[in-house]
Amino acid sequence: MHTDKKVKIYSTPTCFYCRKAKEFFVKNGVKYEDINVLTNMKAREEMVKKSNQLGVPVIEIGNEIIVGFDRVAIEQALGLKK
């Protein structure tokens, strides 16, 4: 699946739902940037500013912010489902 939308995931190495989201992207051929907010404080601040959340994952698809692994919202944002 090809998308012109830039995909970022703010995650931590131990987060179960972060792993599920990344597995979903790989399975669907979605290129994404993985940002570890455990070690990158600047990225953590950016994530909180965008989502008003400290929890991960925070997924950015284009201009859309999705908090948590919400498969339906991710599919819609990527244009996988109408």
CATH of the domain at 6: 3.40.30.10
Q: What is the pLDDT of residues 63-78, one digit of tens each?
A: 999 999 999 999 999 9
10 in Cβ contact with 37 (< 8 Å): yes
pLDDT band at 80 (very low <50, low <70, confident <90, very high): confident
5 in Cβ contact with 61 (< 8 Å): yes
Q: What is the pTM of this model?
A: 0.92
Over range 18-34, report the average pLDDT: 96
Is 2 part of any domain?
yes
Indicate if the pLDDT at residue 2 is higher than 70: no
- Helix 71-78 × helix 16-27 angle, to 10°: 40
Is 62 part of any domain?
yes
Is 29 part of any domain?
yes
Give the chain's radius of gyration (CA, Å). 12
- Distance in angstroms (rounded) separating the CA atoms of residues 24 and 44: 23
Q: What confidence score (pLDDT) does residue 61 get?
A: 97
Q: What is the pLDDT of residues 9-25, one digit of tens each?
A: 999 999 999 999 999 99
